[in-house]
Each structure stands twice: as C-alpha cells, then as structure tokens.
Chain A
Amino acid sequence: DTEVTQTPKHLVMGMTNKKSLKCEQHMGHRAMYWYKQKAKKPPELMFVYSYEKLSINESVPSRFSPECPNSSLLNLHLHALQPEDSALYLCASSRGLQGIGSPLHFGNGTRLTVT
C-alpha cells in the first residue's frame, strides 16, 4: 500500500476519447508530480506542481493537461492521445519548502493503453 493513491489502475482509451487520471495524497505534501514510464525505461518527469502552481512542464504535448484543484489532488486530463502515449503514469508528492531532503512518495501508477 502507498500513501499516494492513483485511479484508475488501468485505462484503455481510443484516440478520440477524453479521460482523466486522478492522484490523491493526505500527507500534507505541497509538491506533486506526474511521471511517465515506458516499458523497461526509467520514469520521465512530465509536470511539477508546488503549492498548487505549475512549476515545471517538461515540454509535454498539450494533449496532456495537468490540474491541481487543491493541495491534496492532482489530475491529468488526456485528449486525442496517440498509441505511443501508452505507458505507466506515475504520481508522486513531497513535503515542499519545509522538507529539505524530503523524498518523493510515489503511487503505483495508472497503466494507460491507447488504441
């Protein structure tokens, strides 16, 4: 079990669909992250939110749209994806300004398949 909860665990979507991935944490962490992981590769950073503001966008295509409605929730809205976007999408959180050296806590991810 992890303290970062991601839903759904699995998602299959067509290229014309709109779907959303959800991430939730109740540890009081103020930084939240989205990573993408292809098979047999390390996780790649996509977005970072700090204190509900987007701090990093690693040149991610606009078909991925992040949203941080409050300090506990992080969403990733998906629209017009391509089959090559199929991957494991990981959410993480960390303590923020008061936590120097504090590690990232990861969820177990959403496995996305785009058909």
Chain B
Amino acid sequence: DAKTTQPTSMDCAEGRAANLPCNHSTISGNEYVYWYRQIHSQGPQYIIHGLKNNETNEMASLIITEDRKSSTLILPHATLRDTAVYYCIVRVGRNSGGYQKVTFGIGTKLQVIP
C-alpha cells in the first residue's frame, strides 16, 4: 500500500471549515483513499473513501487532486466533538481473501477551539 504523509497536528476554530491534507504521491491506480478518525477513548470511526472523484457524505467531503497524489478531508462546520486524530489511509479496495489489511499511520491530531 502507498505511504501517506499528514501534518502531526492542526487547530481549527469552532464553526469554521477544517481542511485536513494528506499526501500520497506513490498511490497506484487501483488504490483508494480512506479517512478514519479516532475520538479519545473510542475506536476508530470510518468517515469517507474515494478513488478518483470527489466524494461527499453527511460527515465530510473528500477532495482528491486530478493526479491523485494528494487529497483533502473537509469538515464543513467543525464542532468541539470533531476534536480527534484523523487518519488518511491508502490501500487497494480489498485483498483477494475478502478482508482489508488496514495499516494506520500517525495521523493528524485536530483540535477544534471554541
């Protein structure tokens, strides 16, 4: 799986958009970009994933550059409950055995400030 690079930490004012970048310059054509987050003392939570098109769901938007070498997770109106570690993961959709070997990097610690 391709490696990802994320800033170690970011701050965002409450109510503003949080834009979390991820660099994945060695991504392959069949690799997806996934985002998870982990709020303190909870398990990781899936947010969104995409292959090449921009994606949006009720939690966030995912913008993938045309060359697919980087992406940005956007939380449109950050709240205090969005304070968490955000993980960007690049991987093939599934292994042939029907499972996904998901490896977490260090992630970005997002602090939403009142």
User: Which A residues are closer than 8 A to B by beta carbons?
Assistant: 2, 4, 30-31, 33, 42-45, 48-51, 55-56, 90, 92, 94, 96-97, 99-109
A48 in contact with B99 given A42-B104, A101-B93, A108-B42 (CB within 8 Å): yes
A56 in contact with B101 given A43-B44, A92-B43, A101-B32 (CB within 8 Å): yes
Task: Name the distance in Å between A50's Cβ and chain B's nearest Cβ.
Answer: 4
Task: Name the distance in Å between A95's Cβ and chain B's nearest Cβ.
Answer: 8
Contact of A42 among B32, B87, B94 (CB under 8 A): B87
User: Which A residue's beta carbon lies closest to that of B102?
Assistant: A104
Classify the interface of chain B: helix, strand, loop or mixed: loop
Which of A2, A44, A103 has the most C-beta atoms of chain B within 10 angstroms of its own C-beta?
A103
User: Which A residue's beta carbon lies closest to that of B45?
Assistant: A106
Contacts of B107 in A (CB 8 A): 42
A104 in contact with B98 given A42-B87, A43-B104, A45-B103 (CB within 8 Å): no
- The yes or no answer to B68 lying at the interface (CB within 8 A) is no
Contact between A96 and B104, CB atoms less than 8 A apart: no
Cβ proximity bits B22-49 to A, threshold 8 Å, 1 near / 0 not: 0000000000101010100111111001
- The yes or no answer to B100 lying at the interface (CB within 8 A) is yes
User: Which B residue's beta carbon lies closest to that of A97?
Assistant: B98
Contact between A48 and B32, CB atoms less than 8 A apart: no
List 3 tightest A-B contacts by C-beta distance, closest first: A106-B43, A42-B104, A103-B46
Contact between A108 and B43, CB atoms less than 8 A apart: yes
Q: Would you mind naming 10 contact pairs between A and B with Cβ atoms under 8 Å apart?
A: A33-B102, A42-B105, A43-B38, A55-B99, A97-B98, A100-B93, A103-B46, A103-B49, A109-B42, A109-B43
Q: How far is the CA of A77 from the CA of B106 in the complex (A)?
A: 28
